[in-house]
Amino acid sequence: MKLTVLLDNNTFIDRYFLGEPGVSYFIEDNGKRILFDTGYSDAFLRNAHRMKIDLLDLEHIVLSHGHLDHTWGLDSMVKLFTEAKIEGFKHSKPTVVAHPLVFNTKIHADLGEIGSLFCAEKLSRIFKLQLSKEPLWLTENIVFLGEIPRIYDFELSEPESKVIIEEKEEEDNLVEDTALAVKTEKGLVIVTGCSHSGICNMIEYAKNVCNEDRIIDVIGGFHLLRPSEKKINGTVEYFRKLNATEVHACHCTDLTSRIKLSTVCELKEVGSGLQLEY
């Protein structure tokens, strides 16, 4: 399996890719091609073009959750595929895979709409759509985890926005927030967006779904932004026991949290353009 970071908050010196506060990964496994999240703008698409990665040839577009920094780039994908149809360019018809609540309206008190700009009905006119709360195997080795059981109380946090469900406004606990797990000969790779469900919850569920305890990498946002002492201490202790081969904490993981994680695991740098092979 090969993973390319199309987009992250960070960039590398002397590598001229774009960065923005968002996430987008391109995953290749045995000929299957998956786009995981689309960032906030078209930056991921521009980086893919510079890397000579053809995003018109995809099997799946996976969305980790509905926030703007992971879904607003869908607008660019819709334009890319629409223009390909107009010009007669060869293209696939990928399946968008996500939790059923990923397209629901999300309202922040100060910002207004922070959820997906597309509803499921409109997007289904352009791409195929597969919404699932349950784990869904995309390839022989890659599973979309679906809704994550939240078993660690230290990872619980107060909702920061509202969500509209069946025309009613509710506290948004981001129950749709999910990840991918990839099986390799040496163990699992966990690929996350923001880990609102709790990075430790996600890893434990992935281990259960895949019947595998060995973790060779965890890459993505850990949602450790000025975390409480309870949360960061619980997370650090979990990773101390996890014995992962390496960890690529990025996006929504602040510097203080990374420094603390680096004391218990092999923490690696992440930026747009990074390529990892397992």
Span 78-100, pLDDT tens digits: 999 999 999 999 999 999 999 99
**Spatial strand order in the sheet of 112-113:** 112-113, 106-108, 162-165, 168-171
Span 203-237, pLDDT tens digits: 999 999 999 999 999 999 999 999 999 999 999 99
Q: In the predicted model, what is the mean pLDDT of the chain?
A: 97
Q: Is the pLDDT of residue 34 over 90?
A: yes
| pTM: predicted TM-score of the whole model, two decimal places | 0.97
Output the pLDDT for position 44.
98
Angle at 63 between CA 7 and CA 264, to 5 degrees: 65
d(CA 257, CA 58): 35
Q: Where are the alpha helices (DSSP H) in 73-198?
A: 74-87, 120-123
pLDDT tier, 158 (very low <50, low <70, confident <90, very high otherwise): confident
The domain tally of the chain equals 1
Region of poorest pLDDT, from 92-96, 148-152, 159-163, 231-235: 159-163
Parallel, antiparallel, or unpaired for β 24-29 and 32-36?
A: antiparallel
Output the pLDDT for position 52.
97
CATH number at residue 163: 3.60.15.10
Q: Which domain holds residue 77?
A: 2-277
